[in-house]
Structure 1
């Protein structure tokens, strides 16, 4: 089956060695710079949006509606990508993170979404995916009555996981660059990036372990979600049917204290990457993902000498909304 694709990632993102961390950890560590993918601070969501916005174009949509957390990179990247394609964007921001300050609600991705011309609406719950999708569809109906042609990018399970196709493509891209990795460490949130990478590798018979680091749910919940996404993805493409339950590897020890909150493992990972390789991670996704690498080396789950690829999925815009948390984690002096 062919799927419409809007070309948002026009160049191959590099794979770079991390020599200092490799020496420190005793592994051969590389980084896939998907923080450079797409437009306006980029990230993995650009690859997912190629298929959602491709479908929107095929439907002749002029308005895109999307939901996510207040500091969602997905909604900000959707606003940027839709602007590039000449579409209006309505972003719905969900209250997922407790005890936030004023900066969280106004800086980072929120500020960029407004700059990009997105209309912002709000949803009071951060744990009601079906309800958030229903609110978008209700608003889409209003847009339709006003003479526009809306396209909803859904969040909840039960919708075709078009975004996962983007990371099946990313898996192909990685293998064309370098196919000799033993382990791939990647974010596991909505499940589209993780499931797509896993399905893409297995589709061509590559046996690298794909370890998803949880950014929103614990390991038990996330394992079920990845299985559900993979089963739905297999309905879109037979290439996704090669993934067994044993292939779904989940790590959640940096999730604490919860989604969108900076805990000690993530803060330590941010410091390690910044001070060893000069690369910055964000507190919501990539710091929690990279935290898996030294922890799994220490536990022996990633053996010394392994060739490891860490997928940097971007998200740096949200950094500027976390000033208070970062100042607490890295005090002056």
Structure 2
């Protein structure tokens, strides 16, 4: 894969660590060794996976002469936080459109990422009802800003287009280089699957480097069939952009939807258990929306014997711990 022909900012500071999780491995048993890829340690205000995607998206915006970034997400969006972070670093204005996917969940004075939007100097926050046409809302904002003399650039939710997903094709290549250096054989990779850029990018990258490691996504919102099609469509677009020969096989796109619970961002008992287990065994903070539910899936799959005895499984930690502070009541009541 050749990334050099695409504009890219230099936000990464080397590879993120791959670490063994001995205490969690022991706690779960079943003779499955658990490792973690620490993308929660990526640069940016409090870190997280969107930094990889924004290296490409913001570079594309700047090459096109933009002075303003518009993006969207849920009310506690990690993507919105990191977009605001890198916009501030680059001297770009940032405007957010937040989708209130759970009615009444947006609170102007809320903690977590909501507070960080303010601290990072976001120019405006528009809040719309769940199910709104988010691209349409961002385009309205772009028209308003253009009329005011600005040069806006729209980054889709999660930076999950073919430009952003390239960041996770890079991650797959980086991961394989680390595993080869460590002489570590990994039998399976588990990733959170939401806006699909991380999952699709990892699939494309693993195909592009002939890594031959199966990747499964744990859904955070949608049913299995819907999510798999979204991931596959984006993987095809990303593979075409990177000229990955043969593309990505549809049968390789696998998602688990049993851990979503009542809906996106709504707490589940298994998520609470996963966050507590990771914190108390490995001192690793997950987030309640993405990595927490993905880890709940990982834990359940290990317990159920989904992975063969003696397997080694790598969990991709996408970050997001600032959102924990907006869920303190959930954990204190558990």
Question: How far apart are 1:98 and its partner, in Å?
Answer: 3.8
C-alpha deviations, 1:131-159, integer Å up to 9, x for none? 211111121122122221111112399x9
One of 87, 110, 117 as aligned partner of 1:113? 117
Can you give the 5+ residue segments of structure 1 that lack an aligned partner in the other structure? none
Corresponding residue number in structure 1 for 2:6:
3
Question: How far apart are 1:111 and its partner, in Å?
Answer: 0.6
C-alpha deviations, 1:276-325, integer Å up to 9, x for none? 21212111111111112221122222112111111110001111111222
Aligned-residue CA RMSD (Å): 1.9
Count of aligned pairs = 325
Question: How far apart are 1:204 and its partner, in Å?
Answer: 1.5
C-alpha deviations, 1:173-199, integer Å up to 9, x for none? 111111421111111000000010111
The verdict on how the C-alpha distance between 1:309 and 1:156 changes in structure 2, with shifts beyond 3 A counting, is closer
Give yes or no for contact 1:202–1:243 (8 Å, CA) kept in 2.
Answer: yes
Is 1:243 paired with 2:248? Answer: yes
5 Å-filtered alignment, 1:254-269, equals 254-269=259-274
Corresponding residue number in structure 2 for 1:165:
166
Corresponding residue number in structure 1 for 2:316:
311
For residues 281 and 156 of structure 1, what CA distance do their matches in structure 2 show?
18
TM-score (norm 1): 0.92
Give yes or no for contact 1:199–1:241 (8 Å, CA) kept in 2.
Answer: no
Corresponding residue number in structure 2 for 1:135:
137
For residues 148 and 104 of structure 2, what CA distance do their matches in structure 1 show?
38
The verdict on how the C-alpha distance between 1:177 and 1:156 changes in structure 2, with shifts beyond 3 A counting, is closer
Corresponding residue number in structure 1 for 2:19:
16
Give yes or no for contact 1:186–1:210 (8 Å, CA) kept in 2.
Answer: yes
Question: How far apart are 1:125 and its partner, in Å?
Answer: 2.5
Question: How far apart are 1:242 and its partner, in Å?
Answer: 3.2
Corresponding residue number in structure 1 for 2:128:
124
Can you give the 5+ residue segments of structure 2 that lack an aligned partner in the other structure? none
Is 1:273 paired with 2:275? Answer: no
Corresponding residue number in structure 2 for 1:232:
237
SS at match of 2:52: helix
Give yes or no for contact 1:226–1:248 (8 Å, CA) kept in 2.
Answer: yes
Corresponding residue number in structure 1 for 2:176:
175
